[in-house]
Amino acid sequence: MIHQLKKITPPGLETAIKLCRDLVSERVQAHFNNIPFDVVKWYDQHGYQLSNDPLAIIPDINDHEAWVTVMITLIPHVQPNFFESVILEHLPNGGDFPEIGGVKATNHRSMLPTGETLQFILAGTNVTQRVRLQQLFSQEHFFHRQGIIWLENVKEGEPMMSGRIILNPEWVDKILLGKESPPRFGPDFPAKKIETGIQWDDVVLHPRTMNQINDIRVWLLHHDKFNSDANLKVKIKPGYRVLFYGPPGTGKTLTAALLGKEYDKDVYRIDLSQIVSKYIGETEKNLENVFRKAETKDWILFFDEADALFGKRTNVQSAHDKYANQEVSYLLQRVEDFPGLMILASNFKNNLDDAFLRRFHSVVHFPMPNATERQNLWNKTLPAGLKLDASINLKELAEQFELTGASILSAVHYATLQSYEREDGILFHTDLIDGIRKEFLKEEKSIDS
């Protein structure tokens, strides 16, 4: 049986592509005939054809320049030979046409538009208009602020507008498929979304730690109000920076995931193995890919084992030390500019550079749980579907063995598997002890030590 793909072409897309093709074709024709071409007048006469504009979902697109910029960048995703077919109409025997700009990609075999392509379509040879169009790619334009479109960087000395125009892949999906696809993990986006099925009631944290977590909650609820205060909005930097520190397994990652779950925010954990590079400048480049994408979202960024990135600066004794310190300086600036919640996690607070510590709004300690907290963790972790043998004494286990919540969970996991293997439906004290012994062995400790 052959399954038919559901037709999901957005309303008006084919009309919009035809309109854009007519515009490019008439601009090329005017160029070869050396006659004036008024884009504004042309668009006013033909724009009425867009009864269902596929770009209407993009906020702030209210002029022909922004519309054409997005359309010529979107079209190659559905019509690879768009520009070649238009040029061929006017140059049937082939020939060079540098005025229209454009570049070839690595895999894409046809022309992709550059800033020069846009300048040709909208301004022709009018120098004043061509220069003005560069503002479409400035940091002040809504394209940049909302992460919709940007120009690819070019080699030093080459014209800025010869860079390829890049339409954010998320907006490609929104326009063509009507949905926003999550970013794909890889070298260009070295971060993974973390989620949890656990609720706050399942978590056992020290009261002081929980009080500091509540401070983060207050910021998540009210930070937008700073923008409405005429005095504070120009004095307080955007974003909220927090350090979680404490031994592994004490709940740092889980707390970050729960904050995202509670306030309906995606939490992305930065994969430091993909970020940190021995090559000069590569670490900053890898990080910039994450920050650029995240700063237009309402995400929480979580840097686990942050020492690798945010460690103490060293005395400059070699070129490598110099560039390592430059990485820290770059991070300091980027951390301060990030408008959302950023959480750094480390086993030891003193491993981080003092310059970062001064910029944290909150430094939250996740200590080893005490005996009372450990007993609470045991109670919350035991399987609901197994019967507890009378020999199990959770109070005694909590007082005797100093374990983190993660270690307790691992011990219960092991003991539960033993019960499943026996098929007796009973959890025995000896199973839990064996599970605890395995946790101690991970740290090369004896259960009797």
**pLDDT tens, residue by residue, 279-307:** 556 677 777 778 888 887 889 999 888 87
pLDDT exceeds 60 at position 315: no
Can you tell me the mean pLDDT for 325-343?
Answer: 79
Q: Of 55-69, 292-306, 317-331, which gets the smallest average pLDDT?
A: 317-331
What is residue 448's predicted lDDT score, i.e. its pLDDT?
A: 63
Cβ neighbours of residue 323 under 8 Å, at least 6 residues apart? 280, 281
Q: What's the pTM value of the predicted model, to 2 decimals? A: 0.73
**Three-state SS sequence of the chain:** CCCCCCCCCCCCHHHHHHHHHHHHHHHHHHHHHCCCCCHHHHHHHHHHHCCCCHHHHCCCCCCHHHHHHHHHHHHHHCCCCHHHHHHHHHCCCCCCCHHHCCEECCCCCCEECEHHHHHHHHHCCCHHHHHHHHHHHCCCCHHHHCCCEEECCCCCCCCHHHCEEEECHHHHHHHHHCCCCCCCCECCECEEEECCCCCHHHCCCCHHHHHHHHHHHHHHHHHHHHHHCCCHHHCCCCCEEEEEECCCCCCHHHHHHHHHHHCCCCEEEECHHHHCCCCCCHHHHHHHHHHHHHCCCCCEEEECCCHHHHECCCCCCCHHHHHHHHHHHHHHHHHHHCCCEEEEEECCHHHECHHHHCCCCEEEECCCCCHHHHHHHHHHHCCCCCEECCCCCHHHHHHHCCCCHHHHHHHHHHHHHHHHHHCCCEECHHHHHHHHHHHHHHCCCCCCC
Res 206: pLDDT: 94
What domains sit in the chain, N to C, each tagged with a CATH number?
13-177 (no CATH), 191-365 (3.40.50.300), 371-442 (1.10.8.60)
Q: Computed from CA positions of residues 392, 395, 396, 400, in that sequence, does the dihedral angle turn out positive or negative?
A: positive
196 phi and psi angles, rounded to 5 deg: -150, 145
Please give the Cα distance from 387 to 435 (Å, whole number).
17
Q: Is the pLDDT of residue 405 over 60?
A: yes
CB 54 within 8 A of CB 13: yes
Q: Can you give the pLDDT at residue 65?
A: 93
Per-residue pLDDT band for 6 (boundaries 50, 70, 90) equals very low
Pairing, β 149-151 against β 165-167: antiparallel
Q: What percent of the chain has pLDDT over 90?
A: 56
Task: Convert the pLDDT of each residue in 220-240 to its tens digit.
Answer: 999 888 878 878 877 788 889
The residue type of 244 is F
**Euclidean distance between CA atoms 161 and 158, whole angstroms:** 9
Q: What is the pLDDT of residue 72?
A: 96
Average pLDDT, integer, range 195-211: 93
Whether residue 311 is predicted with pLDDT greater than 80 in this model: the reply is: no
Chain CA centroid to CA 41, Å: 41
Q: Quote the pLDDT of residue 404.
A: 94
Q: What is the mean pLDDT of residues 145-155?
A: 90
